[in-house]
Amino acid sequence: MGGRLTTAIWARRRAASGGALLGLALFAMAWSSPSRSAESADSVKVRFGGDQTQTRLVIEAGRSVQGKLENQAGRTIELSLPGLKPPADLDGAGRGLVQSWTLKRDSGGAKLTLTLTRKADISRRFLLPPADGIDVYRYVIDLTGEGVDAAAPTSRSVAPAPAGPVSAPTPKQDGRSLADFVQAAQALKARLTRKVVVIDAGHGGHDPGAMGDRAREKDITLAAAKMLKTRLERTGRFKVVLTRDQDVFVPLEDRVQIARKANADLFISLHADVGADPAVHGATVYTLSDQGVDRAAKGVFDGGSFLNVKLPGRDQSVKQILLDLTQRNTRNRSGAFAETLIDQVSRQTDLVSRSHRDAGYVVLLAPDVPAVLLEMGFITNRHDESQLMDPARRGRLMNAVGEAIETYFADDGAPEAKLASR
């Protein structure tokens, strides 16, 4: 793991220093925000990114935001945002597919009106909660121009970096503050860096996993993992590692070690659920529970743990603080991805009630790798089993998982905390 410990807090302090002026061309964004909030009103910021093919609008606010599409006709889109209280009626110029926008106070909330440059559809809407030092909610609206395939992975691929050196514009040149400049530069650097995603096909070898009428869990998870690997690699933005690429048994502890040795930015374990009632169906997403966090910490300090974590220094209290910071950062990231994953997966398959759950699964224990376990459906339910066995429907589900991974990294420019291995 590079032989050093880096916390998200220290990394941000370094990024905020003079070295933050990166030699990169900035991803174009337009910012608009009120200068002062009225009493009891929400501080609201609206920003844009993208082009005439796909455009992203992000509303940042101090409270959770949920939108409802009220009208979409011609080149106008209207959404109501119940509960959101901007300090005043806001408006501004857009970018890409959006010519202009207004955010006006309305009864019980606010109304967002977008005037488009050409016909476009809303391809995604989702909420990112505060996480990893970002203390605001981000309501994201993705627009796709008419005639563009929103599901095509190449539509969001990053263009190759220019062959020669590029000079980043200074804050004075583009009229933005230094803080805005640094944030945009960090976001672009994250977009130009290939992320490492480790995909874990559950079970394998002598461990078949759950058994359905016609399928075995180990076969379905391996087929799904290979599909997702292909889906992600087509974008050119990810380095993908499989914990197994054939029908072999890999111990749970080894799967965690594979992720840590790969310096993974994200770990996703694929499974198919089993239930006593054959009528139970739907997908579930798991992240690490409080008990799992305690178990991982105990393993680190007891020594001899398969996690193989090395903490610098001799002071036990300092080591505990460093581990706590890292685990908190990792859990925030895992939770953010889980919510994005649920949003995307729900478009292709049903979800169980309370679809985001926590557990102490071994594969989720790494203190410095954001991780989720996805139960893709119930193999004991005929509908779910049929869907998971069908290559076309399984492919659509994995495409949704790929969309979630792309979205997660597109909105995440913050550095991660990494722990060294022994």
Q: What is the CATH number of the domain that holds 57?
A: 2.60.40.3500
On whether both 149 and 223 belong to a single domain, the answer is: no
Question: Is 384 within 8 Å of 281 (Cβ atoms)?
Answer: yes
Asked if the structure places residue 168 within a domain, the reply is: no
Measured between alpha carbons, how far is 319 from 303 in angstroms, rounded to an integer? Answer: 13
pLDDT of residue 413: 52
On whether both 228 and 355 belong to a single domain, the answer is: yes
Asked if the structure places residue 13 within a domain, the reply is: no
* DSSP, residue by residue, 205-233: TTB--SB-SS-BHHHHHHHHHHHHHHHHH
Residue carrying structure tokens 């016909």: 119
Q: What is the CATH number of the domain that holds 206?
A: 3.40.630.40
List the single range of 145-149, 254-258, 370-374 with lowest mean pLDDT: 145-149
Measured between alpha carbons, how far is 289 from 331 in angstroms, rounded to an integer? Answer: 9
> What 8-state DSSP symbol labels residue 411?
T
pLDDT at 10 > cutoff 60 = no
* Residues pairing with 100 in the sheet: 93, 115
Domain ends where: 144, 159, 174?
Answer: 159
Domain ends where: 102, 134, 159?
Answer: 159
Asked if the structure places residue 238 within a domain, the reply is: yes
Asked if the structure places residue 188 within a domain, the reply is: no
Question: CB-based contacts of 147: which residues, under 8 Å, 6+ apart?
Answer: none
Asked if the structure places residue 312 within a domain, the reply is: yes
On whether both 99 and 233 belong to a single domain, the answer is: no
Reduce the DSSP state of residue 142 to 3 states and report it: strand
pLDDT of residue 114: 95
Domain ends where: 134, 159, 184?
Answer: 159
pTM metric for this prediction: 0.58
- For the chain, the maximum distance between any two Cα atoms, rounded to a whole number of angstroms, is 66
Reduce the DSSP state of residue 393 to 3 states and report it: helix
Question: CB-based contacts of 1: which residues, under 8 Å, 6+ apart?
Answer: 260, 261, 263, 368, 418, 419, 420, 421
Asked if the structure places residue 9 within a domain, the reply is: no
Q: How many domains does the chain have?
A: 2
On whether both 290 and 348 belong to a single domain, the answer is: yes
**Residue of higher predicted confidence among 390 and 412:** 390
Token reading at 11: 């990394």
Average pLDDT over residues 251-268: 95
Asked if the structure places residue 177 within a domain, the reply is: no
On whether both 254 and 361 belong to a single domain, the answer is: yes
Residues 200, 132, 20, 260: is their CA dihedral positive or negative? negative
Looking at the chain, the whole-number percentage of residues with pLDDT higher than 90 is 46
Residue carrying structure tokens 């889906």: 231
Question: Is 160 within 8 Å of 71 (Cβ atoms)?
Answer: no
On whether both 213 and 147 belong to a single domain, the answer is: no
Amino acid occupying residue 43: S
On whether both 378 and 284 belong to a single domain, the answer is: yes
Looking at the chain, the whole-number percentage of residues with pLDDT higher than 70 is 76
Residue carrying structure tokens 């309305």: 106
On whether both 149 and 279 belong to a single domain, the answer is: no
pLDDT at 277 > cutoff 80 = yes
**Pairing mode, strands 54-61 and 137-145:** antiparallel
On whether both 381 and 291 belong to a single domain, the answer is: yes
pLDDT of residue 163: 37
Asked if the structure places residue 401 within a domain, the reply is: yes
On whether both 385 and 278 belong to a single domain, the answer is: yes
On whether both 344 and 275 belong to a single domain, the answer is: yes
Q: Cα dist. 419→69, 149, 301, 336, 357 in Å?
A: 44, 40, 14, 21, 26
Residue carrying structure tokens 């995307």: 344
List the single range of 156-165, 294-303, 400-409 with lowest mean pLDDT: 156-165
List the single range of 115-129, 192-206, 302-316 with lowest mean pLDDT: 302-316
Average pLDDT over residues 163-184: 49
Token reading at 290: 């409080």
On whether both 123 and 218 belong to a single domain, the answer is: no
Range of the domain at 296: 195-421
Q: H helices of 54-194, where? A: 171-174, 178-191
